[in-house]
C-alpha cells in the first residue's frame, strides 16, 4: 500500500463522511469560514420558536420567532435548509440544495410569495445547483471543527453519518487556520499554533 493510500485510510478511520443541514434558530443563512464564498440557506420555518435566556437568569424561555420575520414568512411552506456533505478522507465537500429540481415545492413557494403583499414576485424558482470542491488538509481540518461549532450552537443538524468528534478532528492531518474567512492580505500567521509566538514578537517590538 502506498504512503498516500495509508494516509487516506488513517484519515477515513478518524472522521468518517457526514452530512449536515443548515437549520438556524432564526432562519438565518450560514456563512462558512473554511470554504471560500460558501453560504448555506437555513431551513425556513414560519412557525419556528426560539429559546432566549430569562432576564432573571432562572432558565430558558421559548418565544415565537420575531414578529417582523414571522409576518413575511407566514404564508410560506416549510423550506429545507441546504446540505453540506463532507468527506475528510478525500478532502472533498459538496453543497446540495433540496429545492433544486423539487418542482412541486418550488411551485408552492412561488405561489405563496406571489399571492402575498410583497413588493416583488418570483418566477422559475429552481433552487441552487449542486456545487463542491476539494480543500487542502488545513482547510478540511478547520472546516470539520467549524461544523462541530455549528452543531453545538444548534445552527445545523445532522442528516447523515455521525457528528465529527473534536478530539478526532485534532488527529486529522494539517493545522487549524487562524483566520480562514479572511479575504484580504494581513500580517497574521497562517496557523493558530503560531499565534503565541507572533503575539510575543509583536509585544517585544512594541507593537
Question: CB neighbours of 28 closer than 8 A, spacing ≥ 6?
Answer: 42
pLDDT in tens, the chain (207 residues): 454 454 444 444 589 999 999 999 888 999 999 999 999 999 998 777 666 666 676 766 565 555 555 556 767 889 999 999 999 999 999 999 999 989 999 999 888 887 766 655 667 788 899 999 999 999 999 999 999 999 999 999 999 999 999 999 999 999 999 999 988 888 889 999 999 988 888 888 775
Distance between CA atoms of 126 and 138, rounded to whole angstroms? 34
Q: Identify any residues that bridge with 191 across adjacent strands, giving them in sequence order.
A: 177
The ranges assigned to domains in the chain are 3-174, 177-207
Of 189, 190, 86, 90, the C-alpha closest to 137 is 90
Phi then psi for residue 138, to 5 deg, are -70, -45
The DSSP symbol for 194 reads G
Location of C-alpha cell 477515513: 12
Q: What pLDDT digit, counting tens, does each position of 29-53 carry? A: 999 999 999 999 999 987 776 666 6
Burial class (CB in 10 A: 0-12, 13-18, 19+), 30: buried
3-state SS string over 84-136? Answer: EEEECCCCEEEEECCCCCCHHHHHHHHHHHHHCCCCCCCCCCCCCCCEEEECC
pTM for this entry: 0.82
Amino acid at each position: 500500500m502506498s504512503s498516500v493510500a495509508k494516509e487516506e485510510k488513517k484519515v477515513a478511520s478518524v472522521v468518517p463522511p457526514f452530512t449536515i443541514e443548515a437549520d438556524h434558530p432564526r432562519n438565518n443563512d450560514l456563512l462558512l469560514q473554511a470554504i471560500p464564498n460558501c453560504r448555506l440557506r437555513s431551513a425556513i420555518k414560519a412557525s419556528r420558536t426560539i429559546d432566549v435566556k430569562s432576564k432573571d437568569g432562572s432558565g430558558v424561555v421559548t418565544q415565537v420567532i420575531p414578529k417582523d420575520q414571522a409576518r413575511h414568512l407566514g404564508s410560506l411552506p416549510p423550506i429545507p435548509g441546504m446540505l453540506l456533505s463532507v468527506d475528510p478522507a478525500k478532502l472533498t465537500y459538496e453543497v446540495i440544495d433540496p429545492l433544486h429540481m423539487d418542482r412541486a415545492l418550488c411551485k408552492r413557494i412561488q405561489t405563496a410569495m406571489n399571492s402575498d403583499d410583497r413588493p416583488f414576485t418570483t418566477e422559475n424558482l429552481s433552487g441552487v445547483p449542486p456545487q463542491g470542491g476539494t480543500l487542502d488538509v488545513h482547510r478540511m481540518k478547520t472546516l470539520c471543527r467549524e461544523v462541530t461549532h455549528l452543531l453545538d450552537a444548534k445552527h445545523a443538524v445532522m442528516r447523515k453519518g455521525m457528528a465529527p468528534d473534536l478530539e478526532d478532528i485534532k488527529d486529522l492531518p494539517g493545522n487549524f487556520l487562524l483566520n480562514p474567512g479572511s479575504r484580504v492580505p494581513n500580517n497574521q500567521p497562517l496557523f493558530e499554533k503560531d499565534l503565541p509566538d507572533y503575539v510575543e514578537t509583536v509585544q517585544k517590538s512594541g507593537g
